[in-house]
Amino acid sequence: MPDRQTIQPTDHGKTLISWRFPEVPRYQRSRGWYIGMSVFVLLVLVWSIYDRNPLFAIIIVLAFTIIIFQSRQKPNILTINITEDGVEIAKNFYAYDDLARFWIIYKPPLAKTLYLRFKSSLRPVLGIPLEGTDPVKLRRELLRFLSEDLEKEEEPASDAVGRLFKI
């Protein structure tokens, strides 16, 4: 029996499409954005003090601090491979058997995203930026293995709000 450390990565079949994308979106934030967010955070802090809710104040301060620190870091660049056996993102592999369906929102320049829904309702929808990938070719390849959710014509509200507020 081979030692665990000598086991080679599993072959996931032929790579059909591959591209690279940043792990998190990187927004250009102006000085006005930082001033506006600071004012918003201060107003929410005042409200939490008035409402006698210190836990909410702590959560807001932590969230704002995380956003500031994250904006100063360069995001990791991940590689996605659409293969014959599933979807490989960095070191994570999602077999087609674990995925329920997919949909693509392609409304450049705002939204160019592949969404994957898992069969398990405990797993969140996975959104993957398309970058320069051809959505028609991607759709054609994915239809060989997954069903497409044709009812999804808009991106999730959380993605739209995140892009709107650059968070």
DSSP 95-156: EGGGEEEEEEEEETTTEEEEEEEESSTTSPPEEEE-TT--HHHHHHHHHTTSEE-TT--S--
Q: How far is the C-alpha of 128 from the C-alpha of 138, rounded, in Å? A: 12
CATH code that applies to domain 15-22+81-164: 2.30.29
Cα pseudo-dihedral 162, 21, 90, 114, rounded to 10: 60
Amino acid at 108: P
Pairwise CA distance, residues 99 & 115, whole Å: 11
- Per-residue pLDDT of 42-89, as tens digits, reads 999 999 999 999 999 999 999 989 988 888 888 899 999 999 999 999
**Whole-angstrom Cα distance, residue 112 to residue 105?**
6
Task: List, for residues 110-157, the tens digit of each pLDDT value.
Answer: 889 999 999 998 999 999 999 889 999 999 999 999 999 988 888 888
